[in-house]
Amino acid sequence: MCTIRIEWSKAYARRERWSEEVILLEEEERRTLQSLRCMESSWRIRAWMHRDQSVTQLGKRAYALRQADVYRRIRENFDMRFSAKDELGVSGKKRKSPAAATEAPGASTTSAQTHSDTPQNSSTPQ
């Protein structure tokens, strides 16, 4: 009887550690997506700041737009590979995809908004 309790206790501890690990991984996914969005936005703002027509400014703008595109592609790849719409979370309920958790309901971005040269959070009309 004592060995059954010991085995049960070990199994319970393993399950608790696993549940904690899943929670940590879900949070890491969320933070990674948030960080990638932030970096993309930051590079878009830098590109917007270099909108003069001098050769140096055009080069800086091209570099910033390239970096923004790199972070956008990394984010999209990460989101595609790790969004788990059909997987069950720790509670046994279907997990929300990281993209859906951070976007407002009904909000959708068009490709023109995603790839525009102006910063996404500016108050100027686009």
pLDDT tens per residue, range 10-21: 999 999 999 999
Amino acid type, 98: P
Question: What's the Rg (C-alpha) of the chain?
Answer: 22
Annotated domain spans of the chain: 36-82
pTM attached to this predicted model: 0.58
pLDDT bucket at 98, cuts 50 / 70 / 90 = very low
For helices 55-82 and 2-49, give the axis angle rounded to 10 degrees. Answer: 160
62-86 pLDDT, tens digit each? 999 999 999 999 999 998 887 755 5
Token reading at 40: 């993309």
Q: Using a CB cutoff of 8 Å and minimum separation of 24, what contacts does 33-37 make?
A: 33/75, 33/78, 33/79, 33/98, 33/99, 33/102, 34/102, 36/71, 36/74, 36/75, 36/78, 37/75, 37/102
Query: What pLDDT sits at residue 62?
Result: 93
23-49 pLDDT, tens digit each? 999 899 999 999 999 999 999 999 999
